[in-house]
Amino acid sequence: MYQALYRVWRPQKFEDIVGQNMISQTLKNAILSHKVSHAYLFTGPRGTGKTSAAKIFAKAINCPNQMNGEPCNVCDVCQSITQGTLGDVIEIDAASNNGVEEIRDIRDKSRYAPTQVQYKVYIIDEVHMLSTGAFNALLKTLEEPTQSVIFILATTEPHKIPATIISRAQRFDFKRITRQHIQERLTYILEQEQIEYDDRALQIIAKSANGGMRDALSLLDQAISYGDQGVRYEDALQVSGSISHEQMLSYVINIYEQNTSKALEDLHCVLRDGKEAGRFVEELLIFARDMLISQVVSPDGTLVDVLDSMPSISSEFIYAMIEELTLTQQALKVTTQKDIYLETFTLKMAKALDKKASNSADNALIQDLWQTVEQLKKQVEHLQKQENVQKVPIKDVPKRQNNKQFTPNLSKVFSVLAQATAKDKQLVQEEWHDIVSCLSVSQQGKLNSSVVLAASPHGIVLGFEYDVLCQMTATDTSLQQDLSQHGERLIKHPCRIECVPLSQWQTIRDKFVQSKKMGTLEQYLHPTLVEELEPQTARSSEHLEPLEEAITEIKEEIPEIISKATELFGDVVEVEE
């Protein structure tokens, strides 16, 4: 009869337990020094060796041939404990025996001394499943410890155990087993079983097992029975539902290089293979983490044990990807249209790069122009000194004019203020961060220093620390559309915004309060009147992007300097492109 690998290869000695050396050593020391506690709590994720350790412990303290804290595994005592037939070592699964009656029964029986061995051992697995009444009964038992009775409580969820129980037990936290340790163990087992294997297949299984040896072994079992010739890479991918390294790499690189249609093709290919969307996002997150870690030093190589070569992708991009993936992961939990979210994620990431690239192109252009201006200025000064000409002083290159103030649309701002309520403001304020975080990276940049100043059921007055950002936001219609869309979706509140520089807020508010008192508010709320009354505050129709403005200004300055220079020195001045 075929026996599952995890049963056959269940650790029978402390030294067989993978990845929990500290715990094994401490338990062996306790046995060797006869300092055994009457209650232990073993916590940790599934498949990390908790119940195996409990059984080995039960054997080691009762085995007449115990050596260095390890059981012999050949005597009657060891063998009957391994088979679960020794009456004094009792295993209880709290998931199926969570009643008070069962625990009371234990309490009564635990009073009696063991009959066959030195110590009676109760192993209660999944102890967090006990009912409150059962916990109380257990607590009573632990409060009146009986000589030669030991309780080992195991759980994956220690936070569900009452503190009164925890405080009466010696606690051991079992760690997730590293991929490397799992892979080593799988290799060892396959060598012993004389089964052929592909290293990459074991890597895939070790990764999918998520730190649990039992899952790793059952995946290995499946991979063995799936393929007819040992453990192949393709079988491992199939049984674990993993996406291949190549597929993942191709997808991420296509996004990074903005081959959007190819990235979408990769995505559809993965989904066509029947991979689950949530699983895909999870694996992408692990992949992103590995990419980040491969960029920093990892001295022992344990953290990136699965990845041999990683592409050079900017860490900024990876961080943005992780952030976006986390949002997508949340969205996937509440939607049935999972594929659409993944497509949106793909497009969003590629687009974010696009915007960043164009932003930095603009910045580069400005920098270039400024450099040229500075160079020319120096050239002129240099020539001036050389020729010792002081008759015609060259005036300084004019400073960029930054005093152009943004003028808010008073009529619209006032109409929001006229209907503003504290309740609306609070609602918008509380959700503002979430709404903004739905926007693209460059859109978020514009709103970074913004604050919600007031809100009515129909609109929001937004304050900006910097006039430039205020103007950029006020003229960005797609940003405004996206905002109102997300606002509608998230808080059922139209996020129609009116932008105000914070430096002008006080004045605007005073003006509003005053005109309300004077009864002249109507004039402001009527847009046609406003232009006549307040020609300066009405919004001018043309709003040049500040960026373009700056470039134009600099462009204008250059010929001025050149002409000044040529005027002075004739053809001596050479203009470098």
Residues paired with 394 in a beta bridge? none
Contacts with 568 (C-beta within 8 Å, 6 or more apart), sequence order: 380, 383, 384, 389, 392, 394
Sign for the pseudo-dihedral over CA of 400, 401, 403, 407: negative
| Sole binder of Zn ion in the list 32, 36, 75, 253 (CB under 5 A) | 75
Task: Name the minimum Å distance from CB 325 to Zn ion.
Answer: 51
Q: CB-hemisphere CA count at 13 Å for 352? A: 23
Task: Name the minimum Å distance from CB 122 to Zn ion.
Answer: 20
Closest by CA position to 347, among listed 272, 254, 270: 254
Contacts with 309 (C-beta within 8 Å, 6 or more apart), sequence order: none
> Which residues ranging from 105 to 144 are in contact with Zn ion (CB under 5 A)?
none
Task: Name the minimum Å distance from CB 78 to Zn ion.
Answer: 3
Contacts with 494 (C-beta within 8 Å, 6 or more apart), sequence order: 458, 459, 484, 487, 488
- Rank residues 67 and 533 by Cβ distance to Zn ion and give the closer one: 67
Tokens of 375: 């160079």
Here's the x/- map for Zn ion, 436-475, by CB under 5 A: it reads as ----------------------------------------
The angle at the Cα of 192, spanning 191 to 198, to the nearest 5 degrees, equals 25
- Rank residues 65 and 192 by Cβ distance to Zn ion and give the closer one: 65
Interhelix angle 338-387/546-569, nearest 10 degrees: 20
Task: Name the minimum Å distance from CB 74 to Zn ion.
Answer: 6
SS in 3 state form for 282-320? HHHHHHHHHHHHHHCCCCCCCCCCCCCCCCCCCHHHHHH
Task: Name the minimum Å distance from CB 160 to Zn ion.
Answer: 35
Dihedral angle, C-alpha 189, 45, 169, 130, nearest 10 ° = -120
At residue 471, φ and ψ (nearest 5 deg) are: -65, -45
- Rank residues 34 and 159 by Cβ distance to Zn ion and give the closer one: 34
- Rank residues 56 and 416 by Cβ distance to Zn ion and give the closer one: 56
How far, CA to CA in Å, does 394 sit from each of 172, 372, 386? 80, 18, 14
Task: Name the minimum Å distance from CB 148 to Zn ion.
Answer: 18
Other CB atoms closer than 10 Å to residue 8's CB: what's the count?
13
81 counts as binding Zn ion under rule CB under 5 A: no
- Rank residues 76 and 387 by Cβ distance to Zn ion and give the closer one: 76
- Rank residues 79 and 295 by Cβ distance to Zn ion and give the closer one: 79
- Rank residues 69 and 71 by Cβ distance to Zn ion and give the closer one: 71
- Rank residues 22 and 67 by Cβ distance to Zn ion and give the closer one: 67
- Rank residues 80 and 456 by Cβ distance to Zn ion and give the closer one: 80
Distance in angstroms between the alpha carbons of the first and the last residue of the chain: 84
Task: Name the minimum Å distance from CB 32 to Zn ion.
Answer: 15
Task: Name the minimum Å distance from CB 61 to Zn ion.
Answer: 11
Task: Name the minimum Å distance from CB 137 to Zn ion.
Answer: 33
78 counts as binding Zn ion under rule CB under 5 A: yes
> Which residues ranging from 38 to 67 are in contact with Zn ion (CB under 5 A)?
63, 65
Q: Specify the stretch interacting with Zn ion by CB under 5 A; choose among 16-24, 78-86, 408-416, 531-539.
A: 78-86
- Rank residues 12 and 98 by Cβ distance to Zn ion and give the closer one: 12
- Rank residues 72 and 139 by Cβ distance to Zn ion and give the closer one: 72
Task: Name the minimum Å distance from CB 71 to Zn ion.
Answer: 5
Task: Name the minimum Å distance from CB 55 to Zn ion.
Answer: 12
- Rank residues 80 and 504 by Cβ distance to Zn ion and give the closer one: 80
Tokens of 111: 């009073």
Interhelix angle 477-491/422-437, nearest 10 degrees: 110
Site size with Zn ion, rule: CB under 5 A: 6
Tokens of 312: 């050079």
Here's the x/- map for Zn ion, 357-396, by CB under 5 A: it reads as ----------------------------------------
Q: Specify the stretch interacting with Zn ion by CB under 5 A; choose among 20-28, 76-84, 370-378, 523-531.
A: 76-84
Q: Specify the stretch interacting with Zn ion by CB under 5 A; choose among 72-80, 365-373, 508-516, 550-558.
A: 72-80
At residue 95, φ and ψ (nearest 5 deg) are: -65, -30
Q: Specify the stretch interacting with Zn ion by CB under 5 A; choose among 75-83, 159-167, 393-401, 546-554.
A: 75-83
72 counts as binding Zn ion under rule CB under 5 A: yes
Task: Name the minimum Å distance from CB 72 to Zn ion.
Answer: 3
Contacts with 7 (C-beta within 8 Å, 6 or more apart), sequence order: none
* 3-class secondary structure, 561: helix
Q: Which residues are at the interface with Zn ion (CB under 5 A)?
A: 63, 65, 71-72, 75, 78
